[in-house]
Amino acid sequence: MASLGQAPWAGSVPMRGFAWRRDQRHRPGLEYMVSTGRLHGFESLEEDWLLRALDFCGRVQTLLSQPFRMRFEANGRWRRHTPDYLVVSDNGVFVVDVRPAGLIKSEDEESFAAAHELSLVCGWRYVVVASWSPHVQASLDAMYARRRPMSDPLNLRPGLLAAAEQGVTFREAAMACQFWPVARAQLLNLLWQRRLGVDLSEPLTDASRLMSAELS
């Protein structure tokens, strides 16, 4: 098993394909991640939210959907499990399963335990994403809409960055500019790029106080 940790992941393909049909109950799709410059598959809205959160973290080097299939014994019978993602980041390698807390059954717990043990052998970390804080999705969605690189033809960014050093709120920084709708878009992009900071333990609103990246 330890040899799995040395596998060449570049060019790997998912263990199973992503299918679309009219009557299916889950929501698969492809999500573009700025951090990897690639499209990545997801099989549910919960998995899509994870991809957005990982992209916002900005430290992802490689991400693989359905990276490998494992076979393990539990309660006297052999079973199979395919984790949802393998994430190679600046902070190490993570194996991730995504399952809403209310849908986790005893067999899922066995699969998660086996994936955790395998991850330990390979020197990886294992995570089950079962829930989010209530405001996370809305805050990420606001910045996600402005995640791609943006030009600054009106030269607003120097003033916005200077305002953040004074600890003003999101609204105060935007409204101080003549072209405040454009300033709001620039602020969201600066937050996504980590050139500005904000306390994301609370909802992102006009009252959120900005800070410089060095202080965040």
**pLDDT above 80 for 3:** no
pLDDT above 70: percentage of residues in the chain: 87
Whether 154 contacts 182, CB under 8 Å:
yes
**What is the C-alpha to C-alpha distance for residues 75 and 43, in angstroms, rounded to an integer?**
29
- Residue showing tokens 């807390």: 101
Q: Report residue 150 as tokens.
A: 């943006």
pTM of the model as a whole: 0.83
Maximum pairwise Cα distance, the chain: 70
Contacts of 128 (CB under 8 A, 6+ apart): 96, 97, 98, 99, 104, 112
**pLDDT above 50 for 34:** yes
